[in-house]
Structure formats: C-alpha cells, structure tokens
Amino acid sequence: MSNLKSDLRAAGAKAAPPRELKQERAGRTRRQLLDAAAAAFAEKGFPAVTLQDIADRAEVTKGAVYFHFTNKEAVAVAVTEEFYTQLPAIAESVTARQLPPLDAVAELLLQTAVALRDNPVMQAGARLQIERNLVDADMPTPFSEFTQLITELLAQAQDEGTLRTTTDIASMARVIVAAFFGSQHISWVQRNREDLTDRVQEIIDVVLPGHA
C-alpha cells in the first residue's frame, strides 16, 4: 500500500505544472491585460473604460483582471508605468548610436514620435497623463527623465560649441518637451497622429536649426 501511495504522489507531482510555468502563464496574462488596457485607454479614455472592457479585450475573465489588479486605477498606473519604461528604452537606443548631442535630441524626438504614432501603450500613457486628475491614484511625475535627458544633451552641445544660445538650457529643454507633447496632442486630435513626425520635424527645424 505504501508503494502505491508513493507512486500516486509521484504521478501527481509529475502531472502538476511546475511553479515556473504558473508564473510564466501569470506573466503572459498580465501582459495581455496591460496591452488590452492600453488599447482601451488610448481609444476611449480612462473614464469610459471598465474592467469588463479590459477583460473582454484580453479574452480573459473579469476575475483574472482582479487577480492582477485591485481596481481600474491600478491598471491605469501600471499602463502609465509601462509608458515610462518604454521612453527610457527609446532614449537608450538613441544614445547607443553616439550621435552628436543636437542630432541625438532630434533623433530622440523623432523616435518617440514614431512610438506614439504606432504603439498603443505609448498612446495610452500620453492620454492618461492628460487625464491624470481623473485617476484616483498616485501617477508617475510626467516626462521628468525625458526632460532631464534633453537638458543633458543640450548642455553637451553648448559645451562643444554646437549650440550657441543665451537661453537657459533647462528652460530650453522644458520648452522642447512642452512643444513635443503639445504637438502630439494636436496631431492626435486632428489627424490621429498620422502627421506627427512632420509636426515634430517642424519643432526640430525651428528649435535646433544647427543640427545635421
């Protein structure tokens, strides 16, 4: 009998999915939920989206949503945090090319514009920042690291003599970021971001005329 019990326990252990597989499945489900939520928030805005909307888009049960997130606000925060992981990834891809600093600023703006045009997570993050007063949760501070990187690149260009300006560099960076995200908002409202790269190129041509 003891051998039979041992055999049954062994068979059960083999049949049970390993912990890693459960974690992988949970990770995939969370990824599905974030992508679905991003698409919903980007399309409809935070107030109009329900947890059932997110579950339906992700093709999971509403219970699966609650397994990963306590409420809709938590989903919004997670999507916004994902937005702020993608911005540094774009920045790293640009800085890895070791471009001259003004060219790096221009490329950073253009690559971010492409991501905002094509990527629902980026679109949702930008929209959720606009609607942050409607989200009853602590949201990440908007665009702080993005602004800091542009400030550093402008300072490098000034030190190298490729940027000749009497304007305070930090102020200039803030104006560029404000123009960029304002431009993406206008492009979104008027043309569904179809002309976003053209609008961003206009900013570059006006503000950074000395870049290559």
Please give the distance of CA 11 from its chain centroid, rounded to a whole number: 45
What is the reported pLDDT for 22?
Answer: 74
What is the reported pLDDT for 116?
Answer: 97
Number of H helices, E strands in the chain: 10, 0
What is the reported pLDDT for 19?
Answer: 67
Q: Give the Cα separation of 155 and 135 in Å (integer).
A: 36
pLDDT tens per residue across span 110-162: 999 999 999 999 999 999 999 999 999 999 888 999 999 999 999 999 999 99
Q: Give the Cα separation of 60 and 77 in Å (integer).
A: 20
Does 13 score more than 70 pLDDT? no
What is the reported pLDDT for 140?
Answer: 87
Q: How confident is the model at residue 189 (pLDDT cuts 50, 70, 90)?
A: very high
**What is the rounded (10 degree) CA torsion for 6, 8, 10, 12?**
-150
Among 139, 140, 163, which residue's Cα sits nearest to residue 151? 163
Tokens of 175: 């104006």
Residue with tokens 């123009």: 179
What is the reported pLDDT for 141?
Answer: 87
Mean pLDDT of the chain: 90
Please calculate the CA angle 192-82-198 and round it to the nearest 5 degrees.
30
What is the reported pLDDT for 166?
Answer: 87
pLDDT tens per residue across span 56-87: 999 999 999 999 999 999 999 999 999 999 99
List, as one string, the DSSP characters of 169-188: HHHHHHHHHHHHHHHHHHHH
Among 52, 37, 189, 58, which residue's Cα sits nearest to residue 125? 37
Does 173 score more than 70 pLDDT? yes
What is the reported pLDDT for 23?
Answer: 78
- First-last CA distance in the chain: 82
What is the reported pLDDT for 8?
Answer: 44
pLDDT tens per residue across span 28-52: 999 999 999 999 999 999 999 999 9
DSSP label at residue 165:
-
